[in-house]
Chains A and B, each alone.
Chain A
Amino acid sequence: MTSPVFERVRGIAADVLQVSASQITPQSSPDTIGNWDSVHHLNLILALEQEFDTQFDPEEIDKMTSIERILEVVGGKVQQG
């Protein structure tokens, strides 16, 4: 998976979670990345909202528990926009 959206999400996740971009894969989640705690999760959500100029619903945020699931939500927003 190397879509442009994935690359943008990967860059943001790498910055916010303070790991190298190569460590971010679709399977990355709080279980695989040590830094990914609740504070970093909120920072990540806000950084994504800034980057894609959108606001996620609480239901969507609940779903965003891995990079793959973040991509599903963000992908839907980008298509709508």
Chain B
Amino acid sequence: MRPGAAARRNAREFVGVAPALALVALVFVLPVAALLLRSVLEPQPGLQNYAEIFASATYLRVFENTFLVAALVTLVTLSLGFPVAWLMTIASPTWSGLLFAIVVLSMWTNLLTRTYAWMVLLQNTGVINRALLGLGLISQPLPLINNLTGVVIGMTYILLPFMILPLHAAMRDLDPAILRAAALCGATRGQAFRLIFLPLLASGIAAGALMVFVMALGYYITPALLGGAANMMLAELIAQLIQSLLNWGLGAAAAFALLVVTLALYAVQFRAFGFGAMREGR
């Protein structure tokens, strides 16, 4: 490239980022920073709110639970979503279109309504238990709701499309010739899967997993309705602090702590897998 062209290119690319930056800075960062500041100003200036959070076994347990559930849900959606995305990529256009339609359709009903439908399905007196009891497969209703199982089932349901679609997009971009070449070179399916297929999909997997994990961290309506009291997620606790107990200092502190931990995880993930890894690899 001609000298100076690189700098000009950078400047032009930065201009593209400008609208997003302006939006996020003005509409998000400024108002939120003002509120988060309350975490060190209310009720007295100082770090008492943070001390309260880290000293409390409850908050730490809620934190822990939130990240564990998010990780678990991410794993489950990946395990279920990967085969579906794969089939969507290679099946005939009709079947693939049908799969696509079903995935998109499942996102269309309102979140709350879907959650209530799961309540109807999972309860002791619900559809699944009654069917299993009726068929004689079980003698006692299975505890599918008001526990971790219910939360995972419900959240996976909501987040699955957010894993499937990016994975499918990544798979579609793969050139089948690469895999055929591998076969010609004598690679088994397992080797091709491990050494070629997965690595090429790394960015798609990372994108899907990131979205699902982060969304799972922030959900609280679904876990509140499908989980038990012991499964409380951080977002629900923060909502309670902000909207019911009106303790904005503590709520802001908990939110800020969540933000810091999540961004730290994101930094680690980025360093390990890197969004730029794909380009470097080529």
Verify that A and B bind, or say they do not.
no
Q: Using a CB–CB distance below 8 Å, which chain A residues touch chain B?
A: none
